[in-house]
Chains A and B, each alone.
Chain A
Amino acid sequence: MYTFSSKLKTLSLALMIIGLLGVGYGFLSAPASVDEVKVLLQESHNTHGEVATPAGHAAAESGVAVQAEDAHAEHIFHLLKNKPWSALYVALFFFFMISLGTLAFYAIQHVSQAGWSIVLFRVMEAITAYLPVGGVLLFVFFVLSATHMNHLFVWMDPEVVANDALIQNKSGYLNVPFFLIRAAIYIIVWVLYRNYARKMTIAQDALTDLSNYRKLFKSSAAFLVFFLVTESMMSWDWIMSLDPHWYSTLFGWYVFSSLIVSAITTIALVSIYLKGKGYLEFVNNSHLHDLAKFMFGFSIFWAYLWFSQFMLIWYANIPEEVTYFVTRFNDYKVPFLGMVVLNFVFPLLILMNSDFKRVPWFIVTAGIIVLIGHYIDIFVMIMPATVGDQWFIGISEISSILLVLGIFIYVVFNAMTKAPLLAKGSPFIKESEHFHY
Chain B
Amino acid sequence: MSSHYEAPIRRPLIIGDKNYHDISVDVAAPVEGKANKLWWIAFSIALTAFLWGIGCIVYTIGTGIGVWGLNKTVGWAWDITNFVWWVGIGHAGTLISAVLLLFRQKWRMGINRSAEAMTIFSVIQAGLFPVIHMGRVWNAHFVLPLPNQFGTLWTNFNSPLLWDVFAISTYLSVSLVFWWTGLLPDFAMLRDRAIRPFQKKIYGLLSFGWTGRAKDWQRFEEVSLVLAGLATPLVLSVHTIVSFDFATSVIPGWHTTIFPPYFVAGAVFSGFAMVNTLLIIMRKVSNLEAYITKQHIELMNIVIMITGSIVGCAYITELFIAWYSGVEYEQYAFLNRATGPYWWAYLFMMSCNVFSPQFMWFKRLRTSITFSFIISIVVNIGMWFERFVIIVTSLHRDYLPSSWTMFSPTFVDIGIFIGTIGFFFVLFLLYARTFPVIAQAEVKSILKASGEKYKKLRDGNHE
Q: Mark B232-264, 1 if CB is under 8 A from A, else 0.
A: 010011001000100111100001111111000
Give B325's nearest chain A residue, CB to CB.
A247
List the 7 closest pairs (A to B, CB-CB), nearest first: A249-B258, A250-B257, A308-B260, A427-B9, A315-B248, A169-B326, A250-B258
Given B247, B258, B318, which contacts A253 in the complex, CB threshold below 8 Å?
Answer: B258
Q: How far is the CA of A252 from the CA of B318 in the complex (A)?
A: 12
Q: How far is the CA of A297 from the CA of B321 in the complex (A)?
A: 29
Q: How far is the CA of A367 from the CA of B85 in the complex (A)?
A: 40
Q: How far is the CA of A312 from the CA of B259 in the complex (A)?
A: 10
Given A236, A248, A431, which contacts B257 in the complex, CB threshold below 8 Å?
Answer: A248
B310 at the binding interface (Cβ < 8 Å): yes
Beyond A250-B256, A250-B260, A318-B250, 5 additional contacts (C-beta under 8 Å) are A236-B320, A249-B256, A304-B233, A308-B240, A312-B255
B157 at the binding interface (Cβ < 8 Å): no
Give A300's nearest chain B residue, CB to CB.
B233
Q: Is the CB of B321 within 8 A of A249?
A: yes
Query: Which residues of B have CB within 8 Å of A311?
Result: 248
Give B319's nearest chain A residue, CB to CB.
A249
Q: How far is the CA of A297 from the CA of B228 in the complex (A)?
A: 13
A166 at the binding interface (Cβ < 8 Å): yes
Q: Is the CB of A316 within 8 A of B260?
A: no
A-B contact pairs, 23 of them (CB 8 A): A210-B9, A225-B309, A228-B310, A249-B256, A297-B102, A300-B233, A304-B233, A308-B240, A308-B261, A309-B257, A311-B248, A312-B244, A312-B248, A312-B255, A312-B257, A312-B260, A316-B248, A316-B250, A320-B327, A428-B7, A430-B5, A430-B7, A436-B2
Binding site for B on A (CB under 8 A): 113, 115, 166, 169-170, 173, 210, 225, 228-229, 232, 236, 247-253, 297, 300, 304-305, 308-309, 311-313, 315-316, 318, 320, 427-428, 430-431, 434-437
Q: How far is the CA of A228 from the CA of B7 in the complex (A)?
A: 30
Chain A: minimal CB distance from B180 (Å):
25
Q: Is the CB of A316 within 8 A of B317?
A: no
Chain A: minimal CB distance from B394 (Å):
14
Q: Is the CB of A308 within 8 A of B257?
A: yes
Query: Which residues of A have CB within 8 Å of B249?
Result: 316
When A250-B257, A312-B248, A316-B255 are in contact, do A435 and B325 touch as well, CB less than 8 Å? no
Q: How far is the CA of A305 from the CA of B317 in the complex (A)?
A: 16
Query: Which residues of B have CB within 8 Å of A253?
Result: 258, 261
Query: Which residues of B have CB within 8 Å of A297?
Result: 102
B324 at the binding interface (Cβ < 8 Å): yes
Q: How far is the CA of A290 from the CA of B257 in the complex (A)?
A: 31
Q: How far is the CA of A435 from the CA of B240 in the complex (A)?
A: 35
Q: Is the CB of B317 within 8 A of A304?
A: no
Q: How far is the CA of A318 from the CA of B257 in the complex (A)?
A: 12
Query: Which residues of B have CB within 8 Å of A434?
Result: 3, 5
B177 at the binding interface (Cβ < 8 Å): no
Query: Which residues of B have CB within 8 Å of A115?
Result: 7
When A249-B256, A250-B257, A318-B255 are in contact, do A435 and B247 touch as well, CB less than 8 Å? no
Give A318's nearest chain B residue, CB to CB.
B250
Q: Is the CB of A431 within 8 A of B5?
A: yes
Given B9, B233, B237, B261, which contacts A250 in the complex, CB threshold below 8 Å?
Answer: B261
Q: Is the CB of B250 within 8 A of A304?
A: no
Query: Which residues of B have CB within 8 Å of A166?
Result: 326
Q: Is the CB of B7 within 8 A of A173?
A: no
Q: Is the CB of A431 within 8 A of B6?
A: yes
Q: How far is the CA of A318 from the CA of B321 in the complex (A)?
A: 16
Chain B: minimal CB distance from A87 (Å):
28
Q: Is the CB of A313 within 8 A of B250?
A: no
Chain B: minimal CB distance from A59 (Å):
41
When A166-B326, A249-B256, A312-B255 are in contact, do A428 and B9 touch as well, CB less than 8 Å? yes
Q: How far is the CA of A123 from the CA of B60 in the complex (A)?
A: 63
Binding site for A on B (CB under 8 A): 1-3, 5-10, 102, 233, 236-237, 240, 244, 247-250, 255-261, 309-310, 313-314, 316-318, 320-321, 324-327
Chain A: minimal CB distance from B75 (Å):
18
Q: Is the CB of B260 within 8 A of A304?
A: yes
Query: Which residues of A have CB within 8 Å of B247?
Result: 312
Q: How far is the CA of A430 from the CA of B260 in the complex (A)?
A: 39
Q: How far is the CA of A303 from the CA of B316 in the complex (A)?
A: 24
Query: Which residues of B have CB within 8 Å of A169?
Result: 326
Given A232, A250, A431, A437, which contacts B7 in the complex, CB threshold below 8 Å?
Answer: A431
Q: How far is the CA of A316 from the CA of B250 in the complex (A)?
A: 6
Q: Is the CB of B317 within 8 A of A252?
A: yes
Chain A: minimal CB distance from B95 (Å):
14
Q: How far is the CA of A436 from the CA of B2 in the complex (A)?
A: 6
Q: How far is the CA of A313 from the CA of B309 in the complex (A)?
A: 26
Give A167's nearest chain B residue, CB to CB.
B326
Chain B: minimal CB distance from A113 (Å):
8
Given B244, B255, B317, which contacts A232 in the complex, CB threshold below 8 Å?
Answer: B317
Query: Which residues of A have CB within 8 Å of B233?
Result: 300, 304
Chain A: minimal CB distance from B445 (Å):
15
Q: Is the CB of B313 within 8 A of A170?
A: no
Give A240's nearest chain B residue, CB to CB.
B324
Q: How far is the CA of A77 from the CA of B187 in the complex (A)?
A: 75
Chain A: minimal CB distance from B261 (Å):
6
Query: Which residues of B have CB within 8 Å of A318?
Result: 250, 255
Q: Is the CB of A313 within 8 A of B257?
A: yes
Query: Which residues of A have CB within 8 Å of B2?
Result: 436-437
Given B240, B313, B321, which contacts A248 in the complex, CB threshold below 8 Å?
Answer: B321
Chain A: minimal CB distance from B355 (Å):
15
Given B244, B248, B309, B321, which contacts A247 in the complex, CB threshold below 8 Å?
Answer: B321
Give B361's nearest chain A residue, CB to CB.
A221
Q: How far is the CA of A224 from the CA of B344 in the complex (A)?
A: 32
Q: How far is the CA of A236 from the CA of B258 in the complex (A)?
A: 14
Q: How far is the CA of A253 from the CA of B255 in the complex (A)?
A: 17
Q: Is the CB of A232 within 8 A of B3?
A: no
Query: Which residues of A have CB within 8 Å of B310?
Result: 228
Q: Is the CB of B3 within 8 A of A435?
A: yes
Chain B: minimal CB distance from A109 (Å):
12
Q: How far is the CA of A229 from the CA of B315 in the complex (A)?
A: 11
Chain B: minimal CB distance from A81 (Å):
28
Q: How far is the CA of A309 from the CA of B325 in the complex (A)?
A: 16
Q: Is the CB of B256 within 8 A of A437?
A: no
Chain A: minimal CB distance from B360 (Å):
12
Q: Is the CB of B317 within 8 A of A249?
A: yes
Query: Which residues of B have CB within 8 Å of A436?
Result: 2-3
Chain B: minimal CB distance from A320 (Å):
7
Q: Is the CB of B5 within 8 A of A170?
A: no
Chain A: minimal CB distance from B164 (Å):
15
Give B240's nearest chain A residue, CB to CB.
A308
For A113, A315, A437, the residue with the greatest tally of chain B CB atoms inside 10 Å of its CB is A315
Give A426's nearest chain B residue, CB to CB.
B7
Q: How far is the CA of A434 from the CA of B1 in the complex (A)?
A: 12
Give A431's nearest chain B residue, CB to CB.
B7
When A300-B233, A315-B248 are in contact, do A247 and B260 touch as well, CB less than 8 Å? no
Chain B: minimal CB distance from A205 (Å):
17
Q: Is the CB of B313 within 8 A of A228?
A: yes
Q: How far is the CA of A308 from the CA of B256 in the complex (A)?
A: 10
Q: Is the CB of A304 within 8 A of B321?
A: no
Query: Which residues of A have CB within 8 Å of B3?
Result: 431, 434-436
Query: Which residues of A have CB within 8 Å of B324?
Result: 170, 173, 236, 247
Give B306's nearest chain A residue, CB to CB.
A224
Query: Which residues of A have CB within 8 Å of B260?
Result: 250, 304-305, 308, 312
Q: How far is the CA of A170 from the CA of B326 in the complex (A)?
A: 8
Chain A: minimal CB distance from B353 (Å):
16
Query: Which residues of A have CB within 8 Å of B102?
Result: 297
Give B313's nearest chain A residue, CB to CB.
A228
Query: Which residues of A have CB within 8 Å of B314?
Result: 249
